[in-house]
Structure 1
């Protein structure tokens, strides 16, 4: 029994193969001969059915060909062409070494097809004139069937019966389910209908937006030659109570929900009297996407199947799901095939299908393995497409992040409040900086400056500098490592202050705090008199573009601050986003990693970097340019996403729009050392020559009391105080073992520091 089974795996015997090849050659000759004979048939040629005085025949097969063609045409009519195709099929079977014995079902199908076709042709057109002679279009067989069924059925139903028999024969021959054919046709109709509905919706939105804009211009344009009357002053009443006074002063700055209106259906702008979201037209429109090449995908599937069989991995590819960047092939392995056996073949399969990388993972909830192969032509996912989606519009969170699309092409958004902190890691060219821009812009399109504040830290000085005029900023973009450390210290201090505030109102988070505060203000509750501050608490998003630079400067202090914020700051609305090009364990330490359950891994050089970020291998197989693995909170399963693209020019348009509407209101306490925080030294103690001294020190690179005494022609005691103030504000470092100081700031840093102080005084 075992010997027979082993012998059956060696393939067909040589004698059987040789016999089939000989029969295939003979049937090929017969098929070609019949093709020429049948297609050149003429009823005037001499044959068994027609006597003629002509000595020559017009048939390409000669007299024998004319006789065979006459027999087939008189028996089957034009259905005789089916006999020719049947012989071609037999020829193919012989050359494929399958033999005639395995054609039983198909042979029956061809016989039924030829008979039904002869009857159907006779029902449609019984006779035809060829070369001046009348012939039966369905032959004698068709004429017999036509007469038989015509006596029992009406001509319409007889023709319908022949047509149904032909369809049944085609299903038997092709071995394709008629139900599947109908389903495919129905799916095609549904896709066409959906496309028509979307086109109609876009047309209606554009027309409605034009009407809204025209109406807005008519209503807001004042009549020519007239001015608006100023409202009359109300009579002075009795002085309100303290709580009532706070309520009155508070009301103009609060924005009731009714004040937010969709002013433009095309762009979906959220507008109010105090904050106008940027138009989506400032972002590049979605270009025409390329059509899916199913022939290319089928070819890849066949190559993949052949490669798996070559490595003796048994199973079948059930289906594939094309996406904007990759196509996922669902491979169902046979029993006994290990998942590890398939995943270890990623490099070999990439070679077989001529792909840059092939990523393999088990599909959760299915008995299948996903084999992800890059598409030949990659689709660009624009941020505007994500922001225009229903998923983004329906999200009510001010910290909605538009990350991009899933590998199957579905829109993917998430909420930073649920994460509540995020690490983004990837090598150069992976799309990390573009992802940061997309995150910032997706928040800007949702939240006004009163609701969300940013602290942007950019040690490289090039990535986030364009946001310096953004009204959402708490401080100018921080580019100095010392000031960055101060900003993190401030975040810890602010976190503790916020916890004290929410404890006074006996709530658990800032959402509940702001809601309860609004109710107290509306009701004029006396509890307001006991509160030190009645301002709403905004969310604070701290984004560090290159976290590795900060860790090199003072890793212990930075790690402690980040860990404290990550552990406690969620309830009080402070969120961290750390980005790094170097995801090593000395940058993303165990303490930091444990407190950041949500992480994004973009393309990295090695599998070790992938494990550092998302705990598993796979990120080294990503394609770059926004291709990412996202680890959501509260789960260990990764989601492959393709990030939304937004250019720096698009970001500048949005920033310019917001900067014209409102200026940033900086808080100088953000970048000050905690020793100079409220309760420490005041601004009045600052020497009036401080800025001049700082400029001299930065320009010359020399920082000593004697140098300032000579350069500024002041007393030694005053020069010493200036040096102390420069050290306190971290313009210069403390003296080292040789009593030398290092200049820590540039002129740009000094200007940013002065700007924060001027804005605070304003």
Structure 2
């Protein structure tokens, strides 16, 4: 019984035996698994693809060098090859001139003469492209690779046939067969069938068909034959649509602009964009004041290249139509003094976007996947919705899954920046008016937005005449020119750290106004504490600058002249309101319209009332030197000067609370923030973080009480500004600057001559005795000693100054007491009685 039990227990052991593999015998059970995992990890598909790509590049490089070396030396190498093939040994002095010897000469002869001649170079280019693609680890998909192969094969055959025909036409005797063996064979066959003119027709027709199938410009030229424009709105042509069925890479060099469906492009939006979000109508003229009358650039792009890959919309930033800048010459219209004045030509500006780098779509795809993977690693699942590629920043829009809090995603900026190895990541959660979350990622190759592309854009020129003070600031993330009206803002506050584009932004604003307004319509008051930023505009004094009567230079660099100039602007504002009241209008726009309609000619001699724009480059320096004396007139102008046509642009590199006070911020609803280095500075200028996450070099946020719009500021170099100023200087002018009213400080208005003894305060004598005894002439001291209000104490101090007891005010220090003893004071009282 025990044996049976033992045999039964032993039977399963015999059944459990299994074959031992060779790896297990060599390395053991765990060693076999480790060997397999090590083998597959070492020889992964990515590594094999890279090695194959390197081999293809090496093969293409060796073939190209062999062919290039064969072109000048092929005749001698061929004779040596014939000797070797016939069994004749080479003599000592006979050597192959090809860089790779006999093998290189034989291989080059086969590629060039034995294949397709010059057309074989097309296939070498294809091998280079495949090799580079494989080495970089990019996957273009089978269909795009096959279509590219067909494209290069077509041009290889066409070039081979054309070169064979040329060599036969000119009877060139050479060791080179221009069309190769296959090209000559095809040429001879066609000559037997269709003769010379038929061959020429076949070559031309096949070339046109090939270009139409592979190039969008050729398709556009065939469909709409006309002169090429300065720029095109890029659209995805036939070749791009076919390639979109691949793995998703749409290469930048094949996204050539096309203008299919020309009638659809003239609309305000693209039909594809309408599927995602409808276009809003253009804002009516009677829109509420205070809102930003932009060119709809912050809401909808005009047109764009849209690729749909696996349900994901990739929106390539469009280029706006460029139009010729119109020179307005109103002739002898009412209010016009300079009949022959012409605005500067757009040719004075440089086009920095002409050879701008194009964004790599494979990199865009990788960044999208890294964002999704980073969020998924923190258990936040999102679905990609749209990718918008801008000049400097790409916007990735994602839709979070049900149950994912938006606040959690907003805290992922640093983690996403780490995964993308990039700075300046900004998360917009949620996107205004959309059910998505936006993630802004800086491009690896940012593009420069030139001022020329803004001022020559169709959008700017369409809105220039409808706006009073149009300003083209830059381009949005959708590559749309951003245009706003300074008169509707009505004042602008600019802040940013040193070297982040603040001064370039000021120059862009000034240039926009110079290109849109005539000298009769606009004047500048420029304050330049650094004495360098606005020096280029000194030559515009007789055209566009305003100054005080007793000032030599119109550009204010002396800080002692700033307070009188600001107070003079306040007087100018009051005088203008008096003129507007006489004309019975509510603003400068209606007043100038009356002048153009020849109404109220008696007021101001029938001349236009020019807009005045105050530009301050470094406001923090003014606050440090003058303090409240500067803040008070600026606050008064900000509160009242809009209707009188006086607007302010104030810039500072130190957006702290002691510079940008609450009173100033309350009257400057529109603000521009360039990159700052702390979140506190960003909250000071924008009331929210964001400016500390910018990437610099013109990257900016525009805020006007609604959503913040990210822009790439237009770049304007100093030689361009000098060329503009030189052009305006050569135009006719009024002969002098626009004179502001003279400002006389209170302490210079007459002293004792204005003092009336019959109107002196009942406390006058007591206060005078206290001042003489203490030898302190202070308004606050009078207020404290006699327990009276500040206004009454100020009137008493004015009476003491008028009677000669104290001297004029000397800043924040107490006034000098002119009477030193009580006897002299009593004699003064007797004369006043």
1:193 aligns with 2:270: no
Q: Indicate the SS of the match to 1:572.
A: coil
Superposed counterparts of 1:298-309, under 5 Å: 298-309=365-376
Superposed counterparts of 1:478-493, under 5 Å: 478-493=556-571
The 2-side partners of 1:604 and 1:503 are apart by: 44
The 2-side partners of 1:650 and 1:666 are apart by: 23
Give 2:724's match in structure 1, choosing from 647, 651, 654. Answer: 654
Q: Which residue of 2 aligns with 1:51?
A: none
Q: Which residue of 2 aligns with 1:665?
A: 736
Give 1:270's match in structure 2, choosing from 318, 328, 333. Answer: 328
Q: Indicate the SS of the match to 2:440.
A: strand
Q: Which residue of 1 aligns with 2:123?
A: none
Q: Which residue of 2 aligns with 1:497?
A: 575
The 1-side partners of 2:625 and 2:245 are apart by: 66
Deviation, structure 1 residue 676: 11
Give 1:575's match in structure 2, choosing from 628, 634, 647. Answer: 647
Distance 1:572 1:648, change over 3 A: same
Checking the alignment, whether the CA contact within 8 Å between 1:405 and 1:411 is kept in structure 2 is yes
Deviation, structure 1 residue 292: 2.4
The 2-side partners of 1:623 and 1:179 are apart by: 34
Superposed counterparts of 1:32-47, under 5 Å: none
Q: Indicate the SS of the match to 1:401.
A: strand
The 1-side partners of 2:442 and 2:665 are apart by: 30
Distance 1:265 1:316, change over 3 A: closer
User: Which deviations, in whole Å up to 9, do the C-alpha atoms of 1:615-661 show, x marking residues without a partner?
Assistant: 110100001111111013xx421101110000111001000111121
The 2-side partners of 1:736 and 1:366 are apart by: 59
1:600 aligns with 2:665: no
User: Which deviations, in whole Å up to 9, do the C-alpha atoms of 1:74-109 show, x marking residues without a partner?
Assistant: xxxxxxxxxxxxxxxxxxxxxxxxxxxxxxxxxxxx
Give 2:350's match in structure 1, choosing from 284, 289, 306. Answer: 284
The 2-side partners of 1:564 and 1:334 are apart by: 51
1:644 aligns with 2:714: yes
The 2-side partners of 1:187 and 1:512 are apart by: 53
Superposed counterparts of 1:146-295, under 5 Å: 181=245, 192-194=257-259, 266-271=324-329, 273-286=339-352, 287-295=354-362
Give 1:547's match in structure 2, choosing from 606, 611, 619. Answer: 619
User: Which deviations, in whole Å up to 9, do the C-alpha atoms of 1:651-676 show, x marking residues without a partner?
Assistant: 01000111121356224545754569
Superposed counterparts of 1:16-165, under 5 Å: none
User: Which deviations, in whole Å up to 9, do the C-alpha atoms of 1:256-309 show, x marking residues without a partner?
Assistant: xxxxxxxx9745433454311111111112422222211111111122222112
User: Which deviations, in whole Å up to 9, do the C-alpha atoms of 1:362-399 show, x marking residues without a partner?
Assistant: 21122211111111101000000000001111121241
The 1-side partners of 2:592 and 2:506 are apart by: 28
1:322 aligns with 2:389: yes
Q: Which residue of 2 aligns with 1:463?
A: 533
1:413 aligns with 2:413: no
Mark the runs of 5 or more structure 1 residues left unpaired by the alignment: 1-14, 29-176, 202-263, 522-526, 682-731, 740-762
Q: Indicate the SS of the match to 1:370.
A: strand
Deviation, structure 1 residue 528: 4.8
User: Which deviations, in whole Å up to 9, do the C-alpha atoms of 1:580-609 show, x marking residues without a partner?
Assistant: 000111111101101111000110011111
Q: CA RMSD in A?
A: 3.9
Checking the alignment, whether the CA contact within 8 Å between 2:546 and 2:740 is kept in structure 1 is no
Checking the alignment, whether the CA contact within 8 Å between 1:267 and 1:281 is kept in structure 2 is no
Distance 1:192 1:281, change over 3 A: closer
Deviation, structure 1 residue 459: 1.0
1:357 aligns with 2:427: no
The 1-side partners of 2:257 and 2:728 are apart by: 40
Deviation, structure 1 residue 519: 3.0
Q: Which residue of 2 aligns with 1:376?
A: 444
Checking the alignment, whether the CA contact within 8 Å between 1:426 and 1:603 is kept in structure 2 is yes
Checking the alignment, whether the CA contact within 8 Å between 1:320 and 1:328 is kept in structure 2 is yes
Q: Indicate the SS of the match to 2:671.
A: strand
Q: Which residue of 2 aligns with 1:310?
A: 377
Distance 1:544 1:333, change over 3 A: same
Checking the alignment, whether the CA contact within 8 Å between 1:419 and 1:597 is kept in structure 2 is yes
Checking the alignment, whether the CA contact within 8 Å between 1:610 and 1:619 is kept in structure 2 is yes
- What's the TM-score once normalised by structure 1's chain length? 0.54
User: Which deviations, in whole Å up to 9, do the C-alpha atoms of 1:540-588 show, x marking residues without a partner?
Assistant: 0000000111111222222221111111111111000000000111111
Checking the alignment, whether the CA contact within 8 Å between 1:387 and 1:442 is kept in structure 2 is yes
Q: Indicate the SS of the match to 1:641.
A: strand
The 1-side partners of 2:623 and 2:482 are apart by: 32
Distance 1:281 1:595, change over 3 A: same
Q: Which residue of 1 aligns with 2:703?
A: 631
- What's the TM-score once normalised by structure 2's chain length? 0.50
Q: Indicate the SS of the match to 2:539.
A: coil
The 2-side partners of 1:389 and 1:508 are apart by: 33
Q: Indicate the SS of the match to 1:295.
A: helix
Checking the alignment, whether the CA contact within 8 Å between 2:372 and 2:381 is kept in structure 1 is no
The 2-side partners of 1:178 and 1:350 are apart by: 34
Checking the alignment, whether the CA contact within 8 Å between 1:398 and 1:452 is kept in structure 2 is no
Checking the alignment, whether the CA contact within 8 Å between 1:426 and 1:432 is kept in structure 2 is yes
Checking the alignment, whether the CA contact within 8 Å between 2:524 and 2:612 is kept in structure 1 is yes
The 2-side partners of 1:621 and 1:265 are apart by: 35
Give 2:584's match in structure 1, choosing from 485, 506, 510. Answer: 506
Q: Which residue of 2 aligns with 1:367?
A: 435
Q: Indicate the SS of the match to 2:730.
A: helix
Checking the alignment, whether the CA contact within 8 Å between 2:392 and 2:712 is kept in structure 1 is yes
Checking the alignment, whether the CA contact within 8 Å between 1:486 and 1:670 is kept in structure 2 is no
Q: Which residue of 2 aligns with 1:449?
A: 519
Checking the alignment, whether the CA contact within 8 Å between 1:489 and 1:674 is kept in structure 2 is no
Distance 1:563 1:191, change over 3 A: same
User: Which deviations, in whole Å up to 9, do the C-alpha atoms of 1:112-133 show, x marking residues without a partner?
Assistant: xxxxxxxxxxxxxxxxxxxxxx
1:586 aligns with 2:586: no
The 2-side partners of 1:185 and 1:347 are apart by: 28
Q: Indicate the SS of the match to 1:429.
A: coil
1:334 aligns with 2:392: no
Deviation, structure 1 residue 312: 2.1
Deviation, structure 1 residue 357: 2.1
Q: Indicate the SS of the match to 1:587.
A: coil
User: Which deviations, in whole Å up to 9, do the C-alpha atoms of 1:39-81 show, x marking residues without a partner?
Assistant: xxxxxxxxxxxxxxxxxxxxxxxxxxxxxxxxxxxxxxxxxxx
The 1-side partners of 2:341 and 2:439 are apart by: 47
User: Which deviations, in whole Å up to 9, do the C-alpha atoms of 1:384-441 show, x marking residues without a partner?
Assistant: 0000001111121241101000012111111101101000100011100000000000
User: Which deviations, in whole Å up to 9, do the C-alpha atoms of 1:470-515 show, x marking residues without a partner?
Assistant: 1200121001122111111011111111111111111111111122
The 1-side partners of 2:596 and 2:373 are apart by: 67
